[in-house]
Structure 1
Amino acid sequence: MSASIKKYLQLRAQVDQLTEQLASKHQKHMACKKGCDLCCMDYDVFPIEFEAMKEALKDQAVDTQASTIGNCIFLKDHVCQIYEHRPIICRTHGLPLLFMNNDQWELSACELNFTNFADEEFTPENTFPQDTFNSKLFMLNKAFLEESKGEHSEFELIPMQQLKDHLQPKDS
């Protein structure tokens, strides 16, 4: 395993720790539970995440035939088949996300969550700082690309659907 992927896994662990804290803090406002898949879309990821998932899933049989257009290929019967290895974007869904857009801070949260929560109750202390972690992920990806001398560019994103070409098919 490359040094960059090890650092990516450490970043993913930091994200998990913060998201667990925020989920606990906001538990009475969160509708997320097993079977809720409103946010499970067909995402593109940085090469470092793609390679980390490819490595983690290489011996895992996964059914990628069940997804519908626009949904993640790993969603089956409303459950993520790769939950432990999902990318960072999937780890933050449902939580209130704070990010910069057109020179102003914006807040995003799942439409099923925080239905009785006023926007002014969100603070930097109770929201996920998306830009901070996206910047760290971008820099780790840049180091990974330099380390691996791969065929990907610095700003390239890879559709998660391409992972199915590297996985063991699951017997139906």
Structure 2
Amino acid sequence: MHRTPRERLHELFTKVDAFFASASARHGERMACRTGCSDCCRRRFSVTSIEADAIREALAALPEADRAALAERARAGDPGVCPALDGEGRCAIYAARPLICRTHGLPIRFAPASERALPVIDACPKNFVGEDLHAVEASSVLDQTTLSTVLAALDMAHADAAGQPRGQRVAIAAVLSGEG
């Protein structure tokens, strides 16, 4: 059975969400990520074209008043805050949130800019406070290079199927405002 890039994106999201839930259950209070904590949402960012399409689909399912409120926040809101963030610190597009939002807070292994440096592990500064992140068991650490590679492959397949250029990124504010 051939799955579409969007179906595979949903599978990736499901796996990452399960990984996050497992890490949260395993580490309990060592991870401060909870509903209403929105520190990681205090910026504006871009998403891949496949993620933008998933967000557009989720937006289409919202009531018109909610879509209009999101579009207004995207156009006129605080430029240092994700426009999907509502007044109670909740994400208005939580089910369709992009990969970066699904992984934020977890220990993430990534390669530093220098090719000769060893991989670095980082996490939200509210999580694993006072601990050496390199001591966190490997089963609780996501590999950023692997995730980025999988997402890029899905995005390329999505772009090819849609006849669009590969590698395009879209500001989340543009998606929410209907301008991108």
TM range, smaller chain: 0.7 to 0.9
Partners of 1:119 and 1:74 in 2: CA distance: 30
Alpha-carbon distance between aligned partners in 2 of 1:130 and 1:58, rounded to the nearest angstrom = 30
Q: Say what the alpha-carbon RMSD is for the aligned residues.
A: 1.8
Residue of 58, 65, 82 corresponding to 2:93 = 82
Confirm or deny: 8 A CA contact 1:98 1:124 kept in the other structure. no
CA offsets 1:22-73 (integer angstroms, 9 cap, x no match): 1212222111212211101211011000011111221312322344222111
User: d(CA) in 2 for partners of 1:122 and 1:139?
Assistant: 29
Aligned residue pairs, count:
164
TM-score, normalisation: structure 2: 0.83
Following TM superposition, the consecutive aligned residue runs of length 4 or more in structure 1 with deviations greater than 6 angstroms are none
Unaligned runs of 5+ in 1: 168-172
Q: Which runs of 5+ in 2 are unaligned?
A: none
Bigger fraction of residues in helix: 2
Is the 1:54–1:163 contact (alpha carbons within 8 Å) kept by the matching residues of 2?
yes
Whole-Å Cα distance in 2 between the matches of residues 126 and 100 of structure 1? 17
Say whether the 8 Å CA contact 1:29–1:117 is kept in structure 2: no
* Cα displacement string for residues 79-117 of structure 1 (whole angstroms, at most 9, x for unaligned residues): 111111111110111111111123320111111111132
1:68 aligns with 2:70: no
TM-score w.r.t. structure 1 length?
Answer: 0.87
In the TM superposition, what is the alpha-carbon distance from 1:18 to its structure 2 partner? 1.2
* Identity, % of aligned positions: 27
Point out the structure with the larger strand share.
Answer: 1
